[in-house]
């Protein structure tokens, strides 16, 4: 082979290999640039971040964005919970609406505790010291308090032409009552013989009451209808709210009433919130003439004994007191005891175990007991026992349910 051809062939091959390597080098330049790290930006210009704001609902914003989750609704502050709607109940067809009302009966008992010898009010008693029985069944006292308040009273006086001694005692008793009134008290005055007469309506003026007493000069009829007068007084006071008192000053004898004793006792029992205090007149003349010779004298004595028993019954049935004085000097002390009894009392309230509203009469009994359940003993400074009286209503009439 010619040496010149061999050298040209070798040089051609070398040229071809160099061209291939050059072509490969040029083709690899973009790939090297893509793999090279990006240059660090200048500190004064922070790199721009892609929009990362989350949309209102889920899903990516773009191919390279973050995944946005749904927003959670936060509970509003201080918004009360809504109660579920009340179910609507419909009555069956043809059935009208109706309401049910239940009345729980409540009984209030005013109790006075007075020393037998002095008539003084006994203070400091507690609810546990009282026991109340209705028809023999013990009741649970739900409310207890001591009351001392102004009074609303009707002064009911017998003014009949029977005897000067009885009128004299009545006037002295009425004066003694008027002297012990207080400015807040309301008092009216009514007299009776065969008929009743209102001398003064309810007033707080003590002078007006004294003028009414002074106006009683000349009596009218000789009859003394105490049953009719007391019935009318109870009827008038029943229209006044609150607790009321009747101060009955009379001989107690009834001569010509249309109402019988049974009816007036029924009226006294059934009239609520009225307490009767009775003062029998003519004690001095009766003491001087009592036990005289003859049938007439004996019948008169029996008549007055029956009158005293009736006056005592009026007071006992209503929780009041009965007095039978003989001398005018006794009147201030008597009405002082009445004032203490009226103004200072313990008030007991209970719901009867017998809740029937049948209009029946219920007997009441009040006892005082100590912490051990025994009958309460009251002693003085020298540890001597003192007798006391418990003044309370003998009973009450239950309300009649109206059909």
Q: Phi/psi zone of residue 119: left (φ > 0), alpha (ψ -120 to 50 degrees), beta?
A: left
Note the pLDDT of residue 87. 66
The three state secondary structure string of the chain is: CCHHHHHHHHHHHHHHHHHHHHHHHHHCHHHHHHHCCCCCCCCCCCCCCCCCCCCCCCEECCCCCCEECCCCCCCCCCCCCCCCCCCCCCCCCCCCCCCCCCCCCCEEEEEEEEECCCCCECCCCCHHHEEEEECCEEECEEEEEEECCCCEEEEEEECCCCCHHHHHHHHHHHHHHHHCCCCCCEEEEEEECCCEEEEEEEECCHHHHHHHHHCCCCCCCCCCCHHHHHHHHHHHHCCCCCCEEEEEEECCCCCCCCCCHHHHHHHHHHCCCEEEEEEECCHHHHHHHCCCCCHHHHHHHHHHHHHHHHHHHHHHHHCCCEECCCCHHHHHHHHHHHHHHHHCEEEEEECCCCCCCECCEEEEEEEEECCCCCECCEECCCCCEECEEEECCCEEECCECCC
Note the pLDDT of residue 226. 96
pLDDT digits (tens, 9 = 90+) for 161-184: 888 899 999 999 999 999 999 999
pLDDT digits (tens, 9 = 90+) for 321-347: 999 999 989 999 999 888 888 888 899
Token pair recorded at residue 247 = 């101060």
pLDDT digits (tens, 9 = 90+) for 124-145: 999 999 999 999 999 999 999 9
pLDDT at 26 over 70: no
Q: What is the mean pLDDT of residues 372-391?
A: 90
pLDDT at 351 over 60: yes
Q: What is the mean pLDDT of residues 280-307?
A: 87
pLDDT digits (tens, 9 = 90+) for 227-262: 999 999 999 998 898 889 999 999 999 999 999 999
| Position with higher pLDDT, 296 vs 94 | 296
Q: What is the mean pLDDT of residues 65-87?
A: 59
Pick from 59-68, 288-297, 309-318, 354-363: least confident? 59-68
Q: What is the mean pLDDT of residues 60-66?
A: 53
Confidence tier at 105 by pLDDT (50, 70, 90):
confident
pTM above 0.85?
A: no
Q: What is the mean pLDDT of residues 391-395?
A: 88
Note the pLDDT of residue 322. 94
Note the pLDDT of residue 225. 95
Note the pLDDT of residue 148. 80
- Within the chain, all domains assigned CATH 3.40.50.410 are found at 149-343
Mean pLDDT of the chain: 82
Note the pLDDT of residue 403. 47
CA distances from 343 to 11, 112, 121, 137, 243 (A): 149, 9, 10, 29, 12
Q: What is the mean pLDDT of residues 364-375?
A: 93
Contact 172, 328 (CB under 8 A): yes
pLDDT at 56 over 60: no
Note the pLDDT of residue 281. 95
Note the pLDDT of residue 102. 57
pLDDT digits (tens, 9 = 90+) for 180-217: 999 999 999 999 999 999 999 999 999 999 999 999 98
CATH among 3.30.365.10, 3.40.50.11540, 3.30.230.10, 3.40.50.410 for 149-343: 3.40.50.410
Q: What percent of the chain has pLDDT over 70?
A: 74
């Amino acid at each position: 082979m010619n040496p010149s051809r061999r050298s040209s062939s070798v040089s051609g091959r070398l040229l071809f290999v160099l061209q291939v390597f050059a072509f490969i080098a040029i083709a690899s330049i973009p790939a090297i640039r893509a793999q090279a790290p990006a240059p660090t930006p200048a500190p004064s210009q922070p790199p721009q971040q892609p929009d990362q704001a989350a949309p209102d609902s889920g899903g990516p914003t773009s191919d390279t964005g973050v995944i946005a989750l749904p927003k959670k609704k936060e509970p509003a502050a201080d918004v009360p919970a809504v109660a579920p709607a009340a179910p609507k109940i419909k009555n069956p067809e043809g059935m009208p609406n109706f309401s049910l009302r239940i009345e729980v009966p409540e009984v209030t008992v005013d109790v006075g505790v007075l020393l037998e010898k002095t008539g003084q009010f006994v203070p400091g008693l507690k609810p546990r010291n009282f026991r109340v029985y209705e028809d023999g069944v013990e009741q649970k006292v739900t409310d207890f308090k001591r009351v001392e308040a102004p009074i609303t009273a009707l002064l009911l006086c017998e003014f009949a032409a029977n005897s000067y001694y009885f009128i004299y005692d009545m006037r002295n008793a009425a004066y003694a009552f008027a002297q012990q009134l207080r400015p807040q008290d309301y008092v009216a005055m009514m007299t009776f013989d065969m008929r009743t007469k209102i001398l003064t309506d309810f007033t707080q003026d003590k002078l007006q009451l004294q003028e009414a007493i002074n106006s009683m000069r000349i009596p009218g009829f000789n009859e003394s209808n105490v049953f009719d007068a007391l019935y009318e007084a109870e009827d008038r006071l029943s229209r006044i709210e609150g607790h009321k008192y009747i101060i009955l000053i009379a001989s107690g004898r009834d001569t010509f009433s249309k109402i019988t004793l049974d009816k007036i006792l029924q009226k006294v029992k059934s009239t609520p919130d009225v307490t009767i205090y009775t003062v029998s007149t003519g004690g001095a003349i009766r003491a001087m003439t009592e036990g005289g010779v003859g049938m007439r004298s004996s019948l008169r004595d029996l008549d007055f004994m029956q009158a005293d028993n009736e006056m005592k019954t009026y007071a006992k049935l209503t929780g009041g007191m009965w007095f039978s004085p003989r001398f005018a000097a006794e009147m201030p002390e008597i009405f002082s005891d009445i004032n203490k009894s009226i103004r200072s009392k313990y008030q007991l309230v209970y719901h009867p175990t017998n809740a029937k509203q049948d209009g029946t009469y219920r007997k009441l009994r009040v006892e005082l007991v100590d912490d051990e359940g025994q009958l309460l003993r009251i002693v003085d400074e020298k540890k001597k026992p003192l007798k006391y009286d418990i003044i309370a209503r003998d009973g009450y009439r239950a309300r009649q349910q109206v059909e």
